[in-house]
Amino acid sequence: MTRIASSKDSALFFADLEQQANRYPVRSVKLTARDRSLLGLFLMHADAEATEVEAALTRLAGSLNGKNGSDPASAADAGGMPGPSQLKKILRAELDRVQLTRLPCSMILLAATNEAPPAKITEAIKECLHHVDILVPRNNHEFAAILPGTNLGKAILRAKTIRNAAMAAGIETRMGIALCYANDRFSPDNLLAQAEAELARTRQPGAEPICHVSGIRAEDACQVSVEERAQLFGFLVKDTN
């Protein structure tokens, strides 16, 4: 897995990422400029093969040679962003992290409906992504935005922000949002299938441009039921009688 943090991030954020890296099955490489200023962290899944690491580092070096820094979105066209073939590996690592942290992970599948070049899309939406988000291209017009630690409500808000930013740049988008909690025990294929199904729903006649999975699922419904309430207060009634 590769993830590139942008040079504009604070030193605190890098320190935090480095700490996180120590807890997860990843190896981290600190990237510094010639003047020793911190450019970012390069994180690799611990089981990444040497050839993969080498290829990713080569791509990264290429992108850094052209610029002083790189951020997740704009790095796409410079070759620094993970490629489509890495999406499932990245998802696997993120879903492993869901099990460790017990925090949800959302994914937005974004499709540009007009012929916007990928570089223009990433440029338009990069400001909408958080430091920990990962943007992965699927093909020329489709991107997967992985949002660690993001629940459905926040993912929907993020999708709306992305859509507005894209629209401001003249790009029409449709998005499908998937969500995974630890108890779901999703595989990358499960999450992708869920997001693809939602994206497909946006293409139906009259559909909203952003579709998402239901927030209320049987296995995760936390709402206190009528039956639970009845038992909670049952003894109070008895005592009164």
What lies within 8 Å, CB to CB, of 167 at 6+ separation is: 173
Please, what is the minimum distance in Å from the beta carbon of residue 100 to other proteins? 11
CA distance 214 to 192: 15
Distance set, CA 34 to CA 113, 125, 129, 142 (Å): 42, 30, 28, 36
Q: Which is nearer to other proteins, 61 or 232 (CB)?
A: 232
Q: Are strands 173-180 and 210-212 parallel, antiparallel or unpaired?
A: parallel
Q: Which is nearer to other proteins, 100 or 167 (CB)?
A: 100
- Binder among 149, 165, 190, 201 for other proteins (CB under 8 A): 149
Q: Which segment (69-77, 155-163, 204-212, 219-227) binds other proteins by CB under 8 A? A: 219-227
CA 34 to chain CA centroid, Å, is 31
In 3D space, the residue among 145, 182, 149 whose CA is nearest the CA of residue 160 turns out to be 145
- Binder among 20, 161, 187, 190 for other proteins (CB under 8 A): 20
Q: Are strands 105-112 and 38-45 parallel, antiparallel or unpaired?
A: unpaired
- Number of chain residues interacting with other proteins (CB under 8 A): 36
Binding characters for other proteins, 91-130, by CB under 8 A (x = yes): ----------xxxx-------------------------x
Asked if residues 146 and 136 have their Cβ atoms less than 8 Å apart, the reply is yes
Q: Does 185 bind other proteins (CB under 8 A)?
A: no
- Binder among 50, 168, 222, 226 for other proteins (CB under 8 A): 222
For other proteins, the binding residues (CB under 8 A) are: 10, 12-13, 16, 19-20, 101-104, 130-132, 148-150, 181-183, 219-225, 227-229, 231-236, 239
